[in-house]
Structure formats: structure tokens, C-alpha cells
Structure 1
């Protein structure tokens, strides 16, 4: 697993860190070709979430989020976004490419692994498809926003 992913995992909610490590390691084992998984986003601050929400609304660019601060599972460290790193250099979000030539798109190999561990995929959402996004099943911002936080700032679950 690359250092960027390790750093992002270290900031996730403590209850999912080990599990995400296992998921990424399993994905990287299954992907026997040129692609490996990188976490591009994990825990996101309220300020970062506000900036994303404002994009395409108040600031220029395409809308990338329908979630305000506190409404994203990223704000609780219970979600990750991924990409595939090809040959250790180039980032890819190509969900159809089969870099290891095993007749299964590498992205979907990872989707299956996340699902086995009980993670929902943003690509399955009916309205706003978010292909790079995975979140711990059962995470609900309406519930999480009401929970108390520990000394490190993570919700107590």
C-alpha cells in the first residue's frame, strides 16, 4: 500500500482504519496488473466540505457534491474515495479498464471487495452517482451529526 493511502487511512475514524487497510491490501492483491488502489480522500473537514459544496454554486466549476458540511460521511471519517494508480504514476478513474487482463474491470474487482466488508458504493446510488466513493454501510449523517465526539474529534459510535 502506498504512503498516501496509509496517511489518509490514519485519519479515518478509528473503528474503520484496520478494515480499510485490509480492503486496500486485498484489492491490491487481486489486481495483478499495472493498477493499484490509492485513497484520494478520507476524512474531510467541514471547511473542505463547504468548499466542495460551493463549487458550481458560489465558486466556478462543476458541481461535485450535494452535501453541505456535516452531511457527508467523509466528515466523520467513515468514507473513502479511491482511484487506480497505473504503473505507480498516473491516476485513473476508468471503471471499465482491465489492467490485469483477467476479464473483469479492475474497478469492479474493488467494488466487490468493499461490498464484502459491508461498504456501500456511490456508483450504486440512484441519483447522484459517485463512482470513486465508498462508505461504511449504515452510516447516516442525520444520526452521526447528533452524536457526541471523543477527545480526538471523532463521533462516538
Structure 2
């Protein structure tokens, strides 16, 4: 399986389209909020998306749980979970919804870490990255019958920033 994760594109529909075209073989696309586009903007294609603190279309939801294969992905923007200070509230929510993977944005800082049996991932920002990072998005890849996950952070032109490996047992 392969999922592509974007966030914090702040009105740049072309960058969403660029990543979508580059990653055509993916099983699913996720946008973690602050697109500043209408919910039904055609650049989203079949992308799962949530409301960020800069999104005002009432069709957006604050969070989603999406099954991909045998895994459960929870996605939110992060501002409602205080992610700039701690992952604890988000971890509690992940446990509540039995998520294997948690996707969020808001801080514009890329990162991936495992907390217990859950992978937490922030793809960074494709427009306004912070923390000295380049513009970024992420992919997560895994085989259904295995517990090994590969997270790859990429620039918009698909240069690999970093790769990380996690073992996430099924719940």
C-alpha cells in the first residue's frame, strides 16, 4: 500500500496537482488541512481532506478515520489537539479510534515518530515550511501482510529529504 500526505498548501492548488500527478500509483491521497480552497475544488481529485484553521468552507470536517487495507488512518489538522506543544491529546484520540497511523499538519514542520503502536506523521508544508526544512510532503508505504512501514519525505520535485522505517504491529 502507498499513501501520499500533504498539508498546509495555503491556496496553492497547482502544488496539489503537481504532487497528485507525480504520485499517480498511490492507493490514497490525504490533505491535512489549510488548503484554503473550497472543499469541492477539482485539484483535490479523490483526496481525503480535513479542515484546518485557515479553511472556511463548511463542507470540511475536523477529522476523519479512513481504513486503508487492514490499517486505520486518523487525520486531523492538529490545531484542535495542541500539536505544537505535545502529541498527548492526539495520542489519546488515536487510541480511542484505534488508529494505526495519525496524520496531521498545522506546525509546518515535517516529522514522523512512533508512539506505542501508532505512527504519527506531519508531512510539513508545501508552501511555507518552518524549522529550516524544505517544502515537503510525505509518502507511507507498507505491505499488507507485514508490519514494516517506510516514510519518505520529499520536495515538490520529488527529491528525497529523508526516509524513516517503523514497525507498527496490527492492533
Give the structure-1-normalised TM-score: 0.31
Greater share of residues in helix: 1
Rg comparison, structure with higher value:
1
Q: Which has the higher strand share?
A: 2
With normalisation by structure 2, the TM-score equals: 0.29
